[in-house]
A = this chain, B = another copy of it.
Amino acid sequence: MKLATIQLEGEARAAVQLASGYLPLAAGSVSELLADGAWEQQVEAAMASHQESEILPASSVALFNPLPTPAKVICCGLNYSEHILEMGRELPQHPTLFAKFADTLTGPTETITSRHSQNVDWEAELAVVVGERLSGATIEEAAGAIAGYTVANDVSMRDWQRRTLQWFQGKAYDASTPIGPVVATADEIDPEAGVEVICRINGEEVQRGNTKTLVFSAAALLAYASQFTTLIPGDIILTGTPGGVGMGMEPPRFLNDGDVLETEIPGIGTLSNKISIRVAADAAAQ
């Protein structure tokens, strides 16, 4: 099934996507839904007992960030072999992990505004959503605890990212990481068999990778992170980006004001985010 956070009468609500539209659920978001241990039964009960009149046609529904309140957003850098080579690095023994905060995320159709960087780059990614508490988990345990998958773009301010050894300040701009448009549950997507991760700028394809080439699988990343930090339902791990980012081009290429950034994973959906560059004249001096 596909889960979304939709706008309903001015408020956010979790919903499940059906052939004829979206069926609202009781929870205020997919984050809130997953926090309920019995979320699968809850969704199935709603699907079994709903009336046709409760379904909102897809064309009338605005989709929000499905996961607005994760306790943890952990990102993996350097996880597709071809992207690692394009960045001039060697294949890693351990995943390179860094953290984002919940309010760094934004919705599938929101404008992304840069107020300080003119080096705004793209990183299309598969994101894995935690469905059960995980601490010290094996890869098998982690695989069984995946609630689902969503699309993400780890939009990065490369000048800020490269100011210091730690990438955080280039990857933690408010509302800069779009995710969504839905969470496809784990039974619908098999990243180890391979799903494509695609990025387009104004319709021009710039990235196309396949998750079967991930160095560390979604389940391996969850298991690894759970060795040191407890994961809970609704937590998100971004699994890394394939080759084709702007910084790896000769010369480097960045997003321009007004560009439309599309991020697609067939079987989940497409994010479409307009880019707004609002850099003050003195920003470079800060």
**A contact set with B: CB distance below 8 Å:** 71-72, 74, 77, 92-104, 115-116, 135-136, 157, 160, 163-169, 172-174, 224-225, 227-230, 286
Give the shortest distance, in Å, between A40 (CB) and chain B (any CB).
Answer: 25
Measured CB to CB, the closest approach of chain B to A103, in angstroms, equals: 7
Complex Cα spacing A168 to B163, Å = 17
Chain B residues closer than 8 Å to A160, beta-carbon distance: 228
Please measure, in the bound complex, the distance between the C-alpha atom of A71 and the C-alpha atom of B225, giving whole angstroms: 20
A-B contact pairs, 19 of them (CB 8 A): A71-B102, A74-B168, A77-B166, A94-B169, A96-B164, A96-B165, A97-B164, A97-B166, A97-B169, A98-B166, A115-B136, A135-B174, A157-B228, A160-B228, A166-B167, A169-B228, A172-B229, A174-B228, A174-B230
The CA of A168 and the CA of B227, in the complex, are separated in Å by 13
Q: A99-B100, A136-B115 are in contact. Are A163 and B94 (CB under 8 A)?
A: yes
Q: How close is A142's CB to chain B, nearest CB, in angstroms?
A: 13
Kindly report how many copies of this chain are found in the complex they form together: 2
Which residue of the partner chain B has the closest CB to A170? B228
Residues on the B chain within 8 Å of A229, using CB: 101, 103-104, 172-174
13 extra A-B contacts, CB within 8 A, seeds A77-B165, A103-B230: A71-B102, A94-B164, A95-B164, A97-B166, A97-B169, A98-B98, A98-B168, A99-B99, A99-B168, A101-B229, A169-B228, A172-B229, A173-B229
Q: Are A172 and B71 in contact (CB under 8 A)?
A: no
Which residues of chain B have C-beta atoms less than 8 A from A167's C-beta? Answer: 166
A115 to chain B, nearest CB (A): 7
Residues from chain B with a CB closer than 8 A to the CB of A104 are 229
Top-4 shortest CB links A-B? A96-B164, A99-B99, A94-B163, A98-B166
Most buried by B among A72, A173, A225, A228: A228
Complex CA gap A100/B74 in Å reads 10
Shortest CB distance A93–B (Å): 7
Give the shortest distance, in Å, between A283 (CB) and chain B (any CB): 9
A227 and B163 contact, CB distance less than 8 A = no
Tell me the complex Cα distance, A160–B229, Å: 13
